[in-house]
Structure 1
Amino acid sequence: MTSESGPFGANSEVGRLRTVILHRPGDELRRLTPRNNDQLLFDGLPWVDRAQEEHDRFAEVLGERGVEVLLLADLLTETLRHSGAARVQGIAAAVDPRRLGHTLADELSVHLRSLPADELAGILMAGLTFDELSFGGSNDSLVRRMHHGPDFVIEPLPNLLFTRDSSFWIGDRVAITSLALPARVRETSLTDLIYAFHPRFLGARRAYESHTAPVEGGDVLLLAPGVVAVGVGERTTPAGAEALARSLFDDDLAHTVLAVPIAQERASMHLDTVCTMVDRDAVVMYPNIQNTLSAFTIHREDKGVSIKGANGFIEAAADAMGIDKLRVIDTGLDAVTAEREQWDDGNNTLALAPGVVIAYERNVETNARLEASGIEVLRISGSELGSGRGGPRCMSCPVLRDPL
């Protein structure tokens, strides 16, 4: 899996991880307040300094296992420094004349174009308040006169922490997703800039790009080469799953897609909050859904597609993967412990290789059951990182894995 500028791609969840994109928590998290944290999809106000320490350790563990870590903020800054077109597109995506009015929008765009790349990248990620407008501007902007100082001129993007959702790699192509909720929509504009203009990714080919039907990367599991599971629930719609399947078939990136209905609620916002791959033939799964999770099997055919089901997910996955049985490691028989650890992302593990995963240390029972099943668990702290409801898989976008 190579391009003009280097290798990237993945055909599974568990092939040895070589390169990954993370986003170190930054000033965008300092924008969270009791008034806006729900709107910005956080369940609490993280202690940012501690979240940064936890994330730094996450990156260190990856590095200790030979994984190259690329930080999104660095990639974005380098992109904006390298490309004038990237600057124009990034500013256009952030400055909304419908909300700001044309007068203020034009003045703000001119101001942003004058900034150094690192300052511009910071604003595109962390947002900007009316108090922070450093240019005088004209006096005929009603928007500027009527807004309060702490109001946002550009909204912050605290969920950038979860780099899995705005893009994912399948085969040697990258899929740019469409995020469902308003607080996250602009994240893909930054991801798109990086893949389009950063020297590291010049020549990278695109897979699926959707501007209508939502698909989020946390709902997409590469079960095996050619086999993809897509959660359909709060974030990814049936139309998005179908469009993704047809796109993958057209590009010969998959032969089977499993559309997996999941509960449309906060606790199970993505498929990877209840199920992730931990080995070639094994998943860790929330036990409350083990016997009820189902899947529609979408197959590529010579003259289109066929859709079968819904059937049990575990059986449908094994059949699509060409194995006798999919091993299921659950999060414990005690219903209360299982529910607590699912909420704390016990099922959201990041595989570094077959049978080796990173997991939050707080999920003691889940980690013990993984180890009893022969899985090596590398534990990290997530007391502050978890306030946005996301674990190690959510916080990582694999750019390169060894093929299975």
Structure 2
Amino acid sequence: MDVGSGSALGVDTEVGPLRAVLLHRPGDELRRLTPRNSDQLLFDGLPWVDRAQEEHDAFAELLRSRGVEVLLLSDVLSEALTASGAARMQGIGAAVDPRRIGHALALELAGHLRTLPAPELAALLTAGMTFDELPVDASSSSLVRRMHHGSDFVIDPLPNLMFTRDSSVWIGPRVAITSLAMPARVRETSLTDLIYAHHPRFRGTRRAYESRTAPVEGGDVLLLARGVLAIGVGERTTPAGAEALARSVFEDGLAHTVLVVPIEQQRATMHLDTVCTMVDVDAVVMYEAVRDSLSAFTIRKTDDGVSISGAQPFVEAAADAMGIEKLRVIDTGLDSVTAEREQWDDGNNTLALAPGVVVGYERNVETNARLEESGIEVLRIAGSELGSGRGGPRCMSCPIARAPIPE
């Protein structure tokens, strides 16, 4: 796929008409999941990979049918590795860890990887490699090789890579490279960074943030309006990470207000977008159980630094920051059991294609009905296998170009 040209890059809001998006079609990295390693690799089940791919293909085709340019991460990664020797060195350097496999074996493995064609190297960097898959002539004198089981990973797979939202976020014309909290996901940002640094499509792209000091994940970052961000702080994003991102976007003139939103530190609410996403310029879909309890600290840029106020109710703080009278909240109804089930199944994790038009999983019948009753068009996709890693349409997509909303 040639992605050398297309829509102008940049994202100002969650709901501006979507023009281009980065997705990752699930691949062999999901076939690495077993009952023994699924918890460590952050999956609640073992997906049927062929079906997951069919579901993802249908998701991508729906986006294309609505005029969205779909960039597949495996393609742009392969093209970046083809375009730049530095990209190859960066990808290999992040994947081959001498601290884990020893200096001698690391040197031999890195040398082998440098000989691979770009598509094969791209596949290996995402799917990983076991000790059984090492080249036959790899160091037989390696103690690490002798002591590991053949099915152990010499390069870890990245099954969560299909959640492209988390490792980078576009804020205005710049991209923020995030810092992922969980060990199973840390290397994902090396591939994202490699793509933005070396792919011709992103040549000249400036960075908004690329801290390695405190975790920030893209699922916790909502662009409520031009110049207004909400950042969830919970299981993945820390207060230090949220503050660092806020100060960075202030310094670059990308935002004037950041709302920092505490969320529960648990698996079901790992990111802010698991409980709340924008569905229109003045509306969110929100998990009913947090509607009244969700709060926000407001950080504003000032002439001499920043000011911090709050906490106050999130819906009030958001409306004030966005300059609107009221933020409409569409929840999942009064049935707490259904609301909890549909929140777990990513009912609140929608991807906006335009104001009032969103993609959601078809299984969340009640939430989708509530959205439609509120005037939101819901484009339904299957997600029985895609959802096994706890992520919905928003999690699986990184918008890189949206048209601005007229002010």
Identify whether the pair has TM-score above 0.5, normalized to the shorter chain. Answer: yes
Query: How far did 1:134 drift?
Result: 1.9
Amino acid aligned to 2:65: E
Q: d(CA) in 1 for partners of 2:170 and 2:14?
A: 10
Moved over 6 A (4+): 3-6
- Structure 2 segments unaligned to the other structure (5+ residues): none
Query: How far did 1:368 drift?
Result: 0.2
Q: Deviations over 1:279-319 (max 9, x none)?
A: 00000000100000000000000000000000000000000
SS of the residue aligned with 1:391?
coil
Show the counterpart of 1:330.
331
Show the counterpart of 1:228.
229
Show the counterpart of 1:200.
201
Query: How far did 1:137 drift?
Result: 2.6
SS of the residue aligned with 1:159?
helix
Show the counterpart of 2:278.
277
SS of the residue aligned with 1:7?
coil
- Indicate yes or no: 2:35 matched with 1:34: yes
Q: Quick check: 3-12 or 104-113, which moved more?
A: 3-12
Q: d(CA) in 1 for partners of 2:155 and 2:362?
A: 36
- CA-based RMSD of the aligned residues comes to 1.1
Amino acid aligned to 2:373: A
Show the counterpart of 1:70.
71
Whether contact under 8 Å (2:359, 2:381) holds in the other structure is yes
Q: d(CA) in 2 for partners of 1:67 and 1:129?
A: 37
Q: d(CA) in 1 for partners of 2:358 and 2:149?
A: 46
How many pairs align? 402
Q: d(CA) in 2 for partners of 1:225 and 1:12?
A: 6
Q: d(CA) in 2 for partners of 1:66 and 1:255?
A: 31
Q: d(CA) in 2 for partners of 1:22 and 1:98?
A: 32
Q: d(CA) in 2 for partners of 1:139 and 1:192?
A: 34
* 1:51-62 equivalence runs, <5 A: 51-62=52-63
- Indicate yes or no: 2:143 matched with 1:142: yes
Show the counterpart of 2:255.
254
* 1:7-46 equivalence runs, <5 A: 7-46=8-47
Show the counterpart of 2:372.
371
Q: Deviations over 1:366-400 (max 9, x none)?
A: 00000000000000000000000000000000000
Show the counterpart of 2:316.
315
Q: Deviations over 1:145-168 (max 9, x none)?
A: 111100000000000010000001
* 1:115-194 equivalence runs, <5 A: 115-194=116-195
Amino acid aligned to 1:21: L
Q: d(CA) in 2 for partners of 1:332 and 1:155?
A: 41
Q: Deviations over 1:330-363 (max 9, x none)?
A: 0111000000000000000000000000000000
Whether contact under 8 Å (2:361, 2:392) holds in the other structure is yes
Q: Quick check: 130-139 or 221-230, which moved more?
A: 130-139
Whether contact under 8 Å (1:298, 1:307) holds in the other structure is yes
Amino acid aligned to 1:204: T
Identity within the alignment, %? 78
Q: d(CA) in 2 for partners of 1:402 and 1:318?
A: 22
Normalised to the residue count of structure 2, the TM-score between the two structures is 0.98
Query: How far did 1:140 drift?
Result: 2.1
Query: How far did 1:210 drift?
Result: 1.0
Whether contact under 8 Å (2:298, 2:308) holds in the other structure is yes
Query: How far did 1:4 drift?
Result: 10
Show the counterpart of 1:110.
111
Whether contact under 8 Å (1:23, 1:163) holds in the other structure is yes
Show the counterpart of 1:298.
299
Show the counterpart of 2:218.
217
Amino acid aligned to 2:114: R
Whether contact under 8 Å (2:7, 2:401) holds in the other structure is no
Whether contact under 8 Å (2:7, 2:20) holds in the other structure is no
